[in-house]
Structures are given as C-alpha cells and as structure tokens.
C-alpha cells in the first residue's frame, strides 16, 4: 500500500487540516497486548532521526509506517507493537518533532496546527496540549500527540510560537489554540 505524499501545510486552511487529521486512521495499538519479543534494535534520536542497528533509516515511508505502531507504555518506555509482537524501541527525548507551524486567527480564536517529522498533523487544543519544560540549558517545548506520545517542538517552530505570543498582549506569554491557553514562559 503506497503512502500518499504529504500535503503542503502552508496551502491548507485549518478546516482542511482538521479534515485530514480526522480521516487518518491509526492502528488500534492501545488494544493490542502481545507478548514482549525483545529489542527492535531501533532508536529515535533527539532530532527525530530513526535508526536501526546504528544506521539511519533513510526511507521516509518506513519511518512513517513505524510511527503508526509506536506506543508508550505505562512505565514511560516505548514499544513498536503489532497484534502478534511487541519490541522495545529507545527514544532519546520525544518520538516526534514538530517541524512546521500553521497559525490562523488571533487571541482566543487562534488555532495552531503542527506538522510532525512523521507527516502527522496535530492541532493544539484541549486534547493536544503544548507544554514548556525548563531545563538548565534552555526551555524544551512539547506537543501532546496521542496516547502519551509527544513531539518536541523544533527550535525554529518554537521561535515562531514565541514571536506570535510576544506580539499578543496578555498577562502571560502564551497562545490560545482551539479554546485552550498554553503558557510558553515555562512558569507553572
């Protein structure tokens, strides 16, 4: 089954993005409970690059396919799961990276859609929160994708978010999306 090419986010309206996201059907990995079969010998680096046995996976369609069977376990570990097997996969930070942003509206009526390195499109909102975790070196912004899986918001996308947030006037540095407010200043 060939995978369709990724749509150009800049040419889509938020309504188009919402329709595409609703049409995408993912495997029901949360319902699959096969026996643990070992280690996949795969790793997802902090920059979103997928590796197998130490070599980068160069086929984008393979990465997109593997990303659909990725699941986060209750203990915080990650696995690739099918109806018949479950394999560990190492994730250095977050399994996805938000690489592109589309913003429509202003203030409380704003909507923020993100394209992930896997090709998925996620609109921030009550079910897909944006959080910023402060670390000693720099803030790390994350977007909830699904089932405990997150996307690290890429640096250039984070700068876009901050520019939007700083251009709006408010008590806190942050942005609204789909009726939810997301502080971007890292304060609790």
23 secondary structure, DSSP code: H
- State pLDDT tens for residues 98-108: 999 999 999 99
Q: Do 139 and 81 have their domain in common?
A: no
- Domain membership of residue 5 (yes or no) is no
- Residue 170: the pLDDT is 76
Asked whether residue 188 is domain-assigned, the answer is no
DSSP state letters, 120-158: -EEE-BTTB-EEEEE-SS-EEEEEEEETTEEEEEPHHHH
Whether 4 shows a pLDDT value over 60: the answer reads no
**Which three-class secondary structure state does DSSP give residue 67?**
helix
Q: Report the C-alpha gap between 93 and 91 in whole angstroms.
A: 6
What is the model's pLDDT at position 165? 92
pLDDT(188) > 70: no
Q: In what order do the strands lie in the sheet with 111-116?
A: 121-123, 111-116, 96-104, 149-153, 139-146, 130-134
Per the structure, the count of domains in the chain is 2
Which residue range forms the structural domain that includes residue 161? Answer: 96-183
The per-residue pLDDT for range 129-151, each reduced to its tens digit, is 999 988 788 889 999 999 999 99
Q: Do residues 60 and 117 both lie within one domain?
A: no
Tell me if 176 sits within 8 A of 187, measured CB to CB: no
Q: Are 108 and 71 in the same domain?
A: no
- Its pTM stands at 0.84
Whether residue 76 is found in the same domain as residue 105: no
Note the pLDDT tens digit of each residue in 39-76. Answer: 999 999 999 999 999 999 988 888 988 999 999 999 99
Residue 6 lies in a domain: no
The residue that leads in pLDDT, 11 or 145, is 145
């Amino acid at each position: 089954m060939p995978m369709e090419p990724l749509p150009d986010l800049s040419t889509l309206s938020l309504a188009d993005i919402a329709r595409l996201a609703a049409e995408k059907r993912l495997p029901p990995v949360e319902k699959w409970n096969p026996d643990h079969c070992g280690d996949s010998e795969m790793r997802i680096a902090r920059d979103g690059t997928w590796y197998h046995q130490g070599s980068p996976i160069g086929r984008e369609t393979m990465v997109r396919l593997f990303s659909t069977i990725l699941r986060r376990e209750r203990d915080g570990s990650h696995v690739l799961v099918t109806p018949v097997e479950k394999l560990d996969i190492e994730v250095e930070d977050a399994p996805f990276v938000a690489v592109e942003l589309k913003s429509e509206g202003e203030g409380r009526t704003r909507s923020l859609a993100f394209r992930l390195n896997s090709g998925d499109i996620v609109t921030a909102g009550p079910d897909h929160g944006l959080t910023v975790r402060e670390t000693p070196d720099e803030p790390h912004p994350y977007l909830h994708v699904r089932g405990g899986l997150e996307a690290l918001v890429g640096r250039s996308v984070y700068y876009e978010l901050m520019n939007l947030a700083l251009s709006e006037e408010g008590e806190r540095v942050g942005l609204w999306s789909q009726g939810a407010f997301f502080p971007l200043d890292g304060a609790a």
